[in-house]
Structure 1
Amino acid sequence: MTTLTAPPRPKSVAPVPARRGPRKYGKALTYVALTAGAIPTLLPFVWLLRSALMQDSQMFIAPPQWIPDPFQWSNFTEALTAQPFGRYFVNTVVIAVVSVVGTVLTCSIAAFSFSRLRWRGRNVVFALLLSGVMLPYAVTLIPTFVMWQELGALDTILPLTVPSWFAGAGGGVFNVFLLRQFFLTIPFELDEAAYIDGASPWRVYWTIVMPLSKPAIIVVTIFTFIGTWNDFLGPLLYLNSEENYTLSLGLASFQSIYITQWGYLMAASAAVIAPIIALFFFLQRYFIEGVTLTGIKN
């Protein structure tokens, strides 16, 4: 009588590890290339910062001295106290915040109408709105100035803030277009379900579309804030009193007074652009996400 035995089990073969060499080296080369491309971009900021911490006699020596010796920290205190930059900062923040709120609110409402609502002539009106991008700013400069002069609003912040509360004015056409393209990526089934439950278009706009459009809204916020913060022509045209100056206008007047004090000028310039760099640093993830997703329709 023969005994049946089970066949021997095959020896387990260890999985062959994936070859990560080429992929690893490719990723490293990508980082090296990005770093090499970022160095020329960062060079002007490094030069600005090192000049802000140097004495005037050290800035123009050859070869250039990159590390200040000694660090002239007093350039910042003396430059920022030579003129009322604190007042300029408050004026700029007020104008920027009011402009950002107005731009985000009105441009998002217009974009919601162009993307989520159906009404006769919608595409024609949107095409006419986009045609405003081709209108040069200089064409409307004099009529706009005369209008604010007749309204008695010169030397106030009204000409710098009120246009942002009208979608399409003050460069808002691009913001309307950007938000409209992003709103189109949101499924329309969400709107239909809300309408079935009895929601109004305003409720759909505020509780559904806006919370889902955070990346695009942050992009509009960054663009508007930077444009308002760096605006020089607007304050130059409409502001006359020094107590109403913005940072850009105050920095220009500072340059005309302290044109030979390069350390003070560099320190004041570095202090003015620092909030912009900090804003982009903390919101860059949302900025890149909003720009990437805009125009991708599901």
Structure 2
Amino acid sequence: MRADVPHGLRRVGRYSLLALVSAVVLFPIWAVLMQAFKSGPDALNHPESLLPTNLTLDTVRAAWTEGELGRALFNSVVVAVVVTICVMLVSLLSAFAFSFLQFPGKGVVFVAFVATMLVPAEVTVVVNRRTVESWGWLNSYQGLIIPSLASTFGMLLLRQMFLQLPKELREAASLDGVGNMRFLWEVAAPLSRPTLGALGLFTFLGTWNAYLWPSQIIKDRDHRTIQIALEGLSGAQINRFNLVTGGLVIASLPIFAMLVVFQRQLVRGLTAGAVKG
């Protein structure tokens, strides 16, 4: 029985640590939710309170109306979906080329691709904006979408997955007369579905939360993404300073729903290429 005491204490310690970490992670979410469900006067008079005097959706409704979040949500969905699909497709093709095909300069091109990850995105913003402006793509969907169609991270993630596939699988397909594209779509792509799902989720989240690039090229209200619309709410009058939290709740709902639905695919995708077998 004495031998069970240290084990029990360790178990209590682990659960206590998990509870503490969970509280630290969930506290900001709880604070935002409570501010969003306060009325304007309640938030102004009791900003430190974590419980509203009266629960109300007035702040959320006001954020939706005054920030024109419906249009912004539509723009964000269009941009995020198109970018996600294109990134998955481009990453799939490039990863297949670097994994299974042989061509002159393959190693040099691969190193050049990887080297682009060393350059912070902020460094290229000014040059990219000038390029987009010269093409007449300011305040347009193509200006938001086209510069984000390729992902070195996505290529590396899928390449690692392809390298785990048995070489005998590709050799057997070649003996059966299966060409490269058919092997990609009928064999490699289905086997990499969990990794593709994780890449798609990461890409969607990154595009949805993007602020720097949209803020540089979008100045009209018709093409604003949700993050730019939230910035507009931050300039609201002082007695409605919790208006931004109402907008945050609206902007977070699609992301929260995606994470709840696809969390298993996310974990499977990130661990699919971790162990060779």
| Length-normalised TM-score, structure 2 | 0.89
Q: Deviations over 1:29-79 (max 9, x none)?
A: 544432321110111000000111113444477795433231022221122
Q: Distance in 1 between matches of 2:275 and 2:64?
A: 46
Counterpart residue identity of residue 249, structure 1: I
Q: Is the 8 A contact 2:40 2:59 kept in 1?
A: no
What residue number does 1:232 align with? 211
The aligned amino acid for 2:105 is G
Residue of structure 1 in register with 2:85 after alignment: 101
Instruction: Give 1:174 deviation, angstroms.
Output: 1.3
CA RMSD of aligned residues (A): 2.4
| TM-superposition CA deviations, 1:80-139 (whole Å, max 9, x none) | 112321111111100001100110000111011111223343222211111111123233
Separation in 2, partners of 1:116, 1:274? 40
Could you tell me which residue of structure 1 aligns to residue 131 of structure 2? 147
- 8 Å CA contact retained: 1:182, 1:296: no
The residue aligned with 1:16 is none
| Secondary structure class of the residue paired with 1:257 | coil
Answer yes or no: is 1:115 the counterpart of 2:99: yes
Please list, as runs of the form range in 1=range in 2, the aligned pairs for 1:131-170 lying within 5 A after superposition: 131-165=115-149, 167=150
Q: What is aligned with 2:191?
A: 212
Deviation of residue 22 (structure 1)?
A: 8.2
Instruction: Using the TM superposition, name which of 91-100 and 136-145 deviates more.
Output: 136-145
* Cα shift at 1:268: 1.0
Q: Deviations over 1:154-174 (max 9, x none)?
A: 111112211333x3xxxx111
- Cα distance in 1 for partners of 2:10, 2:257 equals 31
Q: Which residue of 1 aligns with 2:67?
A: 83
Give structure 1 stretches of 5+ with no counterpart: 1-18
1:257 aligns with 2:236: yes
**C-alpha distance in 2 between matches for 1:116 and 1:36:** 47
Superposition deviation, residue 208 in structure 1: 0.8
Residue matched to 2:201: 222
Quote the Cα distance in structure 2 between the aligned partners of 1:254 and 1:292: 40
TM-score (norm: length of structure 1) = 0.84
Note closer, same or farther for the CA distance 1:209–1:32 as it changes in structure 2 (3 Å cut): farther
- Residues 125, 213 of structure 2: 8 Å contact kept: no
Identity among equivalent pairs (%): 29
Match of 2:76 in 1: 92
8 Å CA contact 1:259, 1:265 repeated in 2? no
User: Are positions 1:43 and 2:27 aligned together?
Assistant: yes
Residue 95 of structure 1 contacts residue 228 of structure 1 at CA under 8 Å; is this kept in 2? yes
Runs of 5+ in structure 2 lacking a partner? none
